[in-house]
Amino acid sequence: MARRPKITLSRKSSKLLEENSIGLETTNWNDVEDTEYAVYSTLRHYGYFYDGKVAAKWANTWVKANRSTADYKDFCAAEYWSISRTLSSLCKMHTNGAKFDKKRMAWIKVHVNEVIERGKDNIKNRTSSVVPIRRSPSEIIKERTNDFIAEIEDFIDQFSTESLTRAEIKEWSAYDLMKHQEVPYITAKAVHDYYQPLLAELEEVVKGTDRDLVEAYATLSTRARNAYLKLIKSIISDSDMYMNGKKAVRKPRAKKVYSAGVQTAHVKYCKSSKEFKLTSVNPLKLIGATEVYLFNTKYRNITYLVSDQKTGFSVKGTTIQGIDMEASYKKTLRKPELYFNDTLKATKLRMKKTLTALKTKSGTVNGRMGTDTILYKVY
């Protein structure tokens, strides 16, 4: 006969079954005769069935009922693990009707106050926590620039005190230092500007034109003055060379390309004319076109525009951009109806020949459109 498989319950499941048979509470505090025995028995019961997080809520409930609102707020601000299981259990017993002597109530008070103080500290630390000040990119660059100049100054100090060998002086280069640290253009510019006044001063000293300066540098020999001047010149020259290199490798800013819809969003034009029986071409076709014919219904001018760009026309606001002003012109139509009848289905070449054949005087153009402008032809 086959044996029935053994069912093994987890600790949690067994505790739940046990709790169902024993009950949530094992002590009726109204019938207790031996308080001490009941307390320790209940402590064992709570310790077996409940964890610290659940027990902490008992203490919260007791503090809310027996202390001030401020104390309750501070108590809740403390971490749950800072509330001892004994304190939580005694609070639950007292809430359920347990009657404790003065000594035990004093013990509860002391430990509740300890948790309250911890909660106060937590609140204080939250409110007074130092928010790190984020430095701007310009501030970071300024600080790094100052550090870089300080590094150059350190070399100059060693140079002035003759604590460097000839080989060390010969090998040192401000340019190499900039390349090694990959300093930005603005740092090289700051180095140039910082040492420029000193260069002018040393040139005056070497020439001997300023007595005050000559006296100030009297401790330096003529050879030392010339060497000092040569060093400062090399620093400025290196910074100029580095800046030129930075300019050469700097990528040109790409021109932002706007869609045809964005470019023509604010175009003002006449959609149709009943007088001349004309309808405008969609303004979107202007973008990228190389030749355009515009007709002004008010002044009866036909405007011929030619683009000077490989990419054709663009539009900014209500003005056509990229116009070849020398090749573009406008003429007044004496008989508009005849002109439109001849050119309504004309090819690009036929349009130009017809306009050139008009004997009216040519005028300059500006590419501006308005509510009287018909977009007649776009190529």
The string of DSSP letters for 354-373 reads HHHH--SPPB----B--TTE
Please give the sequence-ordered ranges of beta strands (E in DSSP) within the chain, or none if there are none. Answer: 272-273, 278-279, 291-296, 301-306, 314-316, 319-321, 329-332, 373-378
Q: Cβ atoms within 10 A of the Cβ of 150, count?
A: 9
The per-residue pLDDT for 214 is: 82
Q: Which of 69, 94, 126 is the last residue of a domain?
A: 126
18 and 88 co-located in one domain: yes
Q: Is residue 355 part of a domain?
A: yes
212 and 268 co-located in one domain: no
What is residue 273's three-state secondary structure? strand
Paired tokens of 59: 């203490």
Q: Are 115 and 82 in contact (CB under 8 A)?
A: yes
230 and 270 co-located in one domain: no
Q: Which of 227, 248, 269 is the last residue of a domain?
A: 248
107 and 16 co-located in one domain: yes
282 and 187 co-located in one domain: no
Q: Is residue 65 part of a domain?
A: yes
The per-residue pLDDT for 45 is: 84
Q: Cβ atoms within 10 A of the Cβ of 263, count?
A: 20
Q: Give residue 329's Cα distance to chain centre.
A: 49
For the chain, give the number of residues: 379
Paired tokens of 330: 């406008």
The per-residue pLDDT for 254 is: 72
Angstrom distances, CA of residue 220 to CA of 148, 161, 229: 26, 11, 12
Quick one: which of 205, 235, 234 has its CA closest to 222?
A: 205
Q: Is residue 132 part of a domain?
A: no
121 and 92 co-located in one domain: yes
Q: Is residue 7 part of a domain?
A: no
146 and 224 co-located in one domain: yes
Mean pLDDT per 10-residue section of the chain, whose length is 379 residues = 46 48 69 87 83 88 94 92 88 92 91 92 75 78 88 84 81 91 91 91 87 83 89 92 80 78 91 91 93 94 94 93 94 92 90 91 93 94
240 and 273 co-located in one domain: no
What are the DSSP calls for 151-219, one per residue? HHHHHHHHHHTT-S-HHHHHH--HHHHHHHHT--HHHHHHHHHHHHHHHHHHHHHHHT--HHHHHHTTT
DSSP letter at 286 equals G
76 and 171 co-located in one domain: no
What is this structure's pTM? 0.40
Q: Which residues pair with 295 in a beta bridge?
A: 302, 374
The per-residue pLDDT for 249 is: 66
The per-residue pLDDT for 129 is: 54
274 and 374 co-located in one domain: yes
Q: Indicate the number of domains in the chain.
A: 3
Q: Is residue 1 part of a domain?
A: no
Q: Is residue 5 part of a domain?
A: no
52 and 104 co-located in one domain: yes
Q: What share of the chain is helix, strand, coil (3-state, %, to 5)?
A: 55, 10, 35
The per-residue pLDDT for 6 is: 46
Question: For 82-85, which contacts have Cβ atoms below 8 Å and span 24 or more sequence positions?
Answer: 82/115, 82/118, 83/52, 83/55, 83/56, 83/59, 83/115, 84/111, 85/46, 85/47, 85/52, 85/55
Q: Which of 126, 155, 176 is the last residue of a domain?
A: 126
The per-residue pLDDT for 9 is: 42
DSSP letter at 78 equals S
φ/ψ of residue 347, rounded to 5: -80, 175
Domain of 324 in residue numbering reads as: 260-378
283 and 243 co-located in one domain: no
Q: Is residue 131 part of a domain?
A: no
Q: Are 379 and 290 in contact (CB under 8 A)?
A: yes
Burial of 115 (0-12, 13-18, 19+ CB in 10 A): buried
Q: Is residue 3 part of a domain?
A: no
